[in-house]
Amino acid sequence: MGEAVGTAELRESFREVLDDIVAAGCVRRHVDEGASRCAPLWTKAAELGWFALLTPESHGGLGLPRAAAAALYEELGRAAAPLPIAAALAATEIVSAFGSQAQQAQWLSRLAGGDAAAFSASGPALDDASLRLANAALFGETGDLLDGVEAALLLAPVRDGENLRWALIDAADLSMQRIALVDRTRSLARARLDGAPASVFSADAHAIARKLRIHMSIALACDSIGGAREVLAFTIAYLKTREQFGKPIGSFQALKHRCAEHLVAIEAASALLGEAVSRWERDDIEAELYALLIKAQACDVYAAVAEDAVQLHGGIGFTWEHMCHVYLKRAKLNQVLFGASAAYHDAAARLLAA
């Protein structure tokens, strides 16, 4: 299945930039230091307009199709890049689709310029919205904000009396507490809102939630496929060079068959992902179903490949020094971000039954 020419070229350009970032040791240093922001990557991404990929041209963006974002997510996953961009692009979509003119004017160019956004990664349920709206101000706490401390914009469901609404909150108006994760390429945050001004969407809260969920499901699936391919590639390279019993260990059937199985699983997930992205791009009626299915499948495949890579590398795969664990931890986090696979399977089954 071929990629549109424009997207393939874009992918190539993403990859070149990320290869340079990786070669400069930026990802490695970020992980070793447990830093919250990878400044060289972020600066570069903002300069190159990655944050503006989906922003309408009328707001100074590139107005590209969603497949461009999907390609970026896959390349970021390949590099295990610490760049909180998916939530920013998802927020861009929401503001473009549902925002008032004022909301668009206030946020779209900031997001396009490289400001990050955050929302809760705890799962698709809206029912436990914990922020209360009173006199256009918000009160309460909300958690599991993916890369929250880096965000300029918080997007959150809020209770307005009986109504459930989504609101935009300027991160400057709230206090954010960082929660470090095992996966050091990302972090979570908890926000406290004590009268922060809120700009509320009039659109149906569930429609916004659905759009966010589709976007993040596909983003994580792309990240997972990119990561899984990279892990398999460097594992195979190792199996070709490491010798035991007088030959490369990759020549042993027990190991090469496992690599073949991983490739089969990755290709299957990748095919489903291609279908999901294409349906997402044309707002197909079944885009949500495909997004749910591929989130679970791609993340599970990634975790399985990354776990087995440790075994296939022997002792070296279990060290801090080797990159195996960076991918393993990212894969395990992808599996639970925005809800675990079982919840996605349930949701997909409900859609099928509806």
Partner 1 sequence: MQTFSTRPFEPPVDPGVLRAQVRAFLAEHQPAGDAASRANSWAVADRTFTRALGKAGFIGMIWPKDYGGGGRHPLERYIVLEELLAAGAPVGMHWIADRQGGPLLLRYGTEAQRRDLLPRMAAGELYTCIGMSEPGSGSDLASVRTRGEREGDHWRISGQKVWTTNAHHAHYMIALVRTGERSQRQEGLTQFLIDLKSPGVAVRPIIDLVGGHDFNEVFLENVLVPDAMRVGEEGAGWRQVTAELSLERSGPERYLSSYALLLEFIRVCGDRPAPAAAELIGRLTAELWTLRHMSRSTAAKLAAGEDPALEAAIVKDLGNSFEQALPRMIQAISDVDLASDSAFARALALLLQIAPSFSLRGGTREILRGIIARGLGLR
In 3-state terms, what secondary structure has residue 61?
A: coil
| Contacts with partner 1, 274-303, as mask; x by CB under 8 A | -----------------------------x
> Of the candidates 121, 151, 152, 293, which one interacts with partner 1 according to CB under 8 A?
121
**Residue 346 within binding range of partner 1, rule CB under 8 A:** no
Please answer whether residues 113 and 136 qualify as being in contact, where contact means their C-beta atoms are separated by less than 8 angstroms: no
Question: Whole-angstrom Cα distance, residue 117 to residue 155?
Answer: 7
Please answer whether residues 105 and 133 qualify as being in contact, where contact means their C-beta atoms are separated by less than 8 angstroms: no
Please answer whether residues 134 and 93 qualify as being in contact, where contact means their C-beta atoms are separated by less than 8 angstroms: no
Q: Which two tokens stand for residue 195?
A: 């009268």
**Residue 143 within binding range of partner 1, rule CB under 8 A:** yes
Q: Which of 179, 190, 159 has the alpha carbon at shortest distance from 333?
A: 179
> Of the candidates 43, 163, 175, 311, which one interacts with partner 1 according to CB under 8 A?
311
| Contacts with partner 1, 238-277, as mask; x by CB under 8 A | -----xxxx--x--x-xx----------------------
Question: Whole-angstrom Cα distance, residue 186 to residue 31?
Answer: 10
The one segment of 1-9, 108-116, 164-172, 310-318 that binds partner 1 by CB under 8 A: 310-318
Q: Which of 196, 210, 151 has the alpha carbon at shortest distance from 176?
A: 151
CB of 172 to partner 1, least distance (A): 23
Count of Cβ atoms closer than 10 Å to residue 194 Cβ:
12
**Residue 349 within binding range of partner 1, rule CB under 8 A:** no
Q: Give the chain's length.
A: 354
Task: Give the residue with the Cβ less far from partner 1, 100 or 341.
Answer: 341
Interface contacts to partner 1, rule CB under 8 A: 121-123, 143-144, 179, 181-182, 188, 190, 243-246, 249, 252, 254-255, 303, 307-308, 310-311, 314-315, 317-322, 324-325, 328-329, 332, 335-337, 340-343
